[in-house]
Structure 1
Amino acid sequence: MKLSALPSLLRIHNTIFGAFTVATSVFLLQPSNMITVFLSGITAYILLASAGNVVNDIFDVKIDRINRPERPIPSGDVTKKEAQGVYTILVISGLGASLYSSFIRNTSLPFIVASLFVGIGVLYSAKLKLMGLIGNVTVGISFSIGYIYGLIISTLEPSLVKLTYVVLFFVTATSLLISREIIKGIEDIEGDKERGVKTLARTRGIKKSALISVFFAFLAIVSYTTLLFVGIMGKRLTPFVIAGDASAAISAILILFGRDYAHKSSLFSKIAMFIGLVGFFLISLFQSGVLSI
C-alpha cells in the first residue's frame, strides 16, 4: 500500500471540512470540559467519516475501474484487502473515541449515534446510493449529523435558543446538500444510466427533479434566514445570510434552465454550503467568547 494514497482514499479534506459541524455545536454549547469534548468529538467524526469514504470505494471498485481508474483501489495503490483493513482500524478507533465521549458525558448516546453512522455508511454504499432521493437524503444527513453529535457530546439539557440554533444548522445543511445531490444527479444522468443508479433525474425526469431540488434549496434558505430571528447573533450574521441565501437562490434558478446549467448550479450550491458552514462556525466562536466585536 502506498501511504501517499491514503489521503485520497480517506478524502481527508472532506472529513476535516465536515468536522466543523461538530466543532460548531461544541463551541456554541460551551460544555465545562470543552477542549476534551471538542477533541474527542472531531476525532470520532473524522475517523468515521473517513471510514465511510473507504467503504464506499470498496463497494465501487468495479465501477471505478471504468469511470475513475485513478482512484487508490483501481489504480493498485491500495488493494481491496488493505482498504478493508484500513476501514476496520478507522471504525474501531472512531467508535472508541465516541465511547470516550459517552464516558465523559455519562450517556450512551454518543456511542449509539456513532454506531448508527457506521451502519448507515455501509448501507448507503451497498444499497441506498442507487435509490435516488433516499440516497440523496442519506448524504445530507450523514454530513450534517455532526451538528447533532456535537450537541449530545456537549449537553443533554441545552437552552431552547441554542437547541433551536443547532436544529436550524442541521436543517439548513441537510436541505442544501440534498438539493445539490439532486443537481449532481441531473448533471450525471448519462453516467448514472450506465451504472443503474435510480436518481430522480432518471425516474422522474429532469424538470421534476429540478423542481424538487429547488424545493430543498428554498427550505435551506428559509431555515438559514430564520437564524437571524432566534436571538444569539443578530446583525453579525446578516452578511453570511445574505451571501448564503443569494448563492442558494442562484443555484435554484440555474437548475430550472435545464441540464446544461447543472454544473454551474452545483457550484453555487457548494458556495452556499461553504458560506453557511463558515457562518455557523463563527456564530459558535462569538458565543463561546473566542471571538468578539
Structure 2
Amino acid sequence: PSVVALSLFLIAVLATAAAGNVINDIADIEIDRINKPHKLIVGSKIPVKTARNAYFALVSIAIIAAIVLSFLSKNLNLFILIGMVNGLLWFYAQRYKRQFVIGNLVVAFLAALLVLVAGFFDMFFLMEHAIMWAKATTVIQMILEIVGVYAVFAFLVSLIRELVKDMEDIKGDAKVGCRSIPVVLGISVSTYIVWALQLVLLAVIGWWQIILFRDGAVAAFGFLFITDMLILLSGLQLVGNPKKREFGIVSILLKLVMLSGILSILFISL
C-alpha cells in the first residue's frame, strides 16, 4: 500500500477511536458526575450539543477515509469494517456498556479486531492480485499465526482492563443502573475473575514465548518477560482490600502490559 493508503487508514482508525471516546463521554455524563466530577468535560466544559456535532464530524471523516481506502484497495471490506466498528462503538455507549458482560466483550473484541486489521492491512491490497497472493502464501501463513496470537493477547488484556475499570467505577455505575460485573457479582468475585483471566493471559504469553524461543526470536522472547512482570504486579495490587486508588494503578499497569506486549512484535522477523 502507498503512503496515501496508510495515511487514510491511520486517519480512519484515529477518527473512529476519537468518535468512540466522544459518544462514550456523552453517554457517561451522569456516571462521571459521581465517579470523577473533577475530570468531567462533556456537559461541564464542553456543551453536549458541541460534543455531539464533533462526534458526527469524526464519524464522517472516518467513513470518508474508509470509502477512499476501499476504492484504492478495490476491496469493500475496509469500508465495511470501519462502518461496523463505528456502529458497535455507538451501540456500546448507548446500550451495551450498561449490560452484564456484553459491554466488556464488545471492547475486547474491538481491541482484537484493530490488531487483526492492522496486521492484515497489506492483504487487503494483495487480494486483487492472485499471482502475488499465491507467491506470498508462506509469508501470509506466518503473519496469520503472529497476528492471531497478538489479537488474542489484545482481547484478554482489554477484557481484564475493562473489568478493572468497572471495579473502579462501581459507585457511579450502581447509581445509574449499569449491570456491570462488579455491580452484579461484587468486588470480591470480580477480583477472582481478574486473577483467573490474568492466569489465562500468562499461559498464552508463556506458550508464545516457547514458540519464539524455539524459532530463534530470542529478543522477543526476552522482551515479553517485561509483560509477564507487569501482569504479576497488576495482580498483586488487588491482594487484600483494594480501593479506587489500587484499581486506578492496575488500570495504568494494564495499559503498560498492552504496550509492552504489542511492542514485542517489533523483535519478530519473518
State the match for 2:55 in structure 1.
87
Cα distance change on mapping 1:122 and 1:195 into 2, 3 Å: same
* 2:54 is the alignment partner of 1:73: no
Counterpart for residue 225 of structure 2: 242
**Counterpart residue number, 1:259:** 242
What is the CA distance between 1:43 and its match in structure 2?
1.1
Matched, 1:270 2:251: no
Amino acid at match of 1:219: V
* Letter aligned with residue 145 of structure 2: T
| Displacement of 1:65 | 4.6
Larger radius of gyration: 2
CA shift at 1:62, angstroms?
A: 3.8
Moved over 6 A (4+): none
Cα contact 1:172–1:221 (8 A) shared by 2: no
Residue 112 of structure 2 corresponds to residue 129 of structure 1:
no
Q: Which amino acid aligns with 1:192?
A: D
SS in 2 for 1:78: coil
For residues 156-178 of structure 1, what are the alpha-carbon distances to aligned partners after superposition, in whole Å with 9 as ceiling and x for unaligned? 56621111111111110110111
For 2:220 and 2:71, locate their aligned partners in 1 and report how far apart those are by CA, in whole Å. Answer: 35
Identity of aligned residues (%): 23
Summarize the alignment of residues 49-64 of structure 1 with structure 2, pairs less than 5 Å apart.
49-64=17-32
* CA deviation after TM superposition for structure 1 residue 251, in Å: 1.9
Native 8 Å contact 1:218 1:249 kept in 2: no
Match for residue 194 of structure 1 among 160, 175, 182: 175
Name the structure, 1 or 2, with higher relative contact order (CA <8 Å, separation 6+): 1
How far apart are the structure 1 equivalents of 2:123 and 2:242?
Answer: 45
Q: Distance in 2 between matches of 1:178 and 1:79?
A: 31
Q: What CA deviation, in whole Å up to 9, does each residue of 1:109-133 have, x standing for no partner?
A: 1111111101111101001111242
| Pairing 1:179–2:148 present | no
AA aligned to 2:41 is P
Q: Supply the distance in 2 between the matched residues of 1:106 and 1:233 (Cα, whole angstroms).
A: 37
Q: Given the two structures, how large is their TM-score scaled by the length of structure 2?
A: 0.82
Q: CA RMSD in A?
A: 2.5
1:101 deviates by 2.3
Deviation, 1:69, is 5.8
1:1-293 aligned within 5 A = 33-65=1-33, 67-68=36-37, 70-75=39-44, 77-156=45-124, 159-228=140-209, 229=211, 234-260=217-243, 261-280=246-265, 282-283=266-267
Residue segments in structure 2 that go unaligned for 5+ positions in a row: 125-132, 134-138
Distance 1:177 1:219, change over 3 A: same
Shift in Å, 1:273: 1.7
Give TM-score scaled by structure 1 length: 0.76
Report the Cα distance in structure 1 between the residues aligned to 2:112 and 2:254, rounded to whole angstroms: 15
Give the aligned length.
Answer: 252
C-alpha deviations, 1:64-85, integer Å up to 9, x for none? Answer: 455436533222x432222222
Structure 1 residues 200 and 37, CA gap change in structure 2 (3 angstroms):
same
| Contact 2:231/2:253 (8 A) holds in 1 | yes
